[in-house]
């Protein structure tokens, strides 16, 4: 099967097609009498020359997912996270932290120019993906389980303090991403200003 596939692939290759085209030229020369008694060598030589000068085969580039489609998947997971958090009872302070983080994540994932800029930064997309798919669910779930044990062993450190600290760290990470996007737009604006001023001076 592999041998027949390679043979079929060569028949369809540029080398064979180019060589065959020049071979037909040699055949035409034979019929007109220009090739003389050496016509087999003329045809074979033209075929070989065509096979040599044909451009090499170029394998197709891999078709990776579009960055925008990755954000669509992340938005769907963000909606699932919302459904999960809606079933969890959190203390007021942690709930306030989570609300701030939720608003920032929603703004970054909002379809539009911000999300378009975000999609060009794979590290930022990965960081948000980790926050939504791993960090927030793990923080909330760990709080829920630890709170149950705390009720059995009073006097230990309240688990909500750890939850508040964790959500604070996650907010800082997301805010850093937003600041980087904002800085990129600011540099873009400054570059355009310099371009316009240079154009005016050179006109």
- Half-sphere exposure of 53 toward its Cβ, with a 13 Å CA cutoff? 11
Q: What's the pTM value of the predicted model, to 2 decimals? A: 0.65
| Closest among 131, 100, 128, 114 to 182, alpha carbons compared | 114
What's the mean pLDDT in 142-162?
A: 80
Query: What pLDDT band is residue 150 in, cutting at 50, 70 and 90?
Result: confident
What's the mean pLDDT in 161-188?
A: 93
Query: What pLDDT band is residue 2 in, cutting at 50, 70 and 90?
Result: very low
- The per-residue pLDDT for range 27-66, each reduced to its tens digit, is 666 666 666 666 666 667 767 766 666 666 666 767 666 6
CA angle 111, 115, 121 (to 5 degrees): 160
Distance from CA of residue 88 to its chain's centroid? 33
Q: Which long-range contacts (CB under 8 A, 24 or more apart) does 178-183 make?
A: 178/104, 178/107, 178/108, 180/121, 180/124, 181/108, 181/114, 181/117, 181/118, 181/121, 181/124
């Amino acid at each position: 099967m592999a041998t027949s596939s390679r043979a079929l692939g060569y028949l369809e290759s540029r080398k064979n097609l180019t060589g065959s085209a020049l071979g037909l030229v040699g055949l035409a020369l034979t019929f007109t009498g220009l090739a003389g008694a050496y016509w087999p060598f003329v045809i074979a030589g033209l075929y070989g020359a065509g096979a040599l000068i044909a451009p090499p085969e170029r394998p197709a580039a891999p078709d990776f997912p579009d960055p925008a489609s990755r954000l669509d998947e992340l938005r769907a997971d963000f909606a699932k996270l919302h459904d999960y958090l809606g079933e969890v009872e959190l203390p007021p302070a942690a709930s306030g932290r989570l609300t701030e983080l939720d608003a920032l994540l929603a703004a970054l994932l909002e379809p539009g120019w911000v999300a378009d800029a975000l999609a060009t930064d794979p590290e930022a997309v990965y960081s948000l993906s980790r926050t939504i798919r791993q960090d927030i669910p793990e923080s909330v779930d760990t709080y829920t389980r630890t709170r149950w044990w705390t009720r059995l062993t009073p006097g230990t450190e309240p688990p909500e303090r750890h939850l508040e600290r964790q959500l604070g760290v996650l907010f800082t990470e997301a805010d850093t991403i937003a600041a980087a996007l904002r800085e990129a737009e600011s540099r873009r604006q400054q570059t355009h200003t310099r371009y316009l001023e240079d154009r005016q001076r050179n006109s």
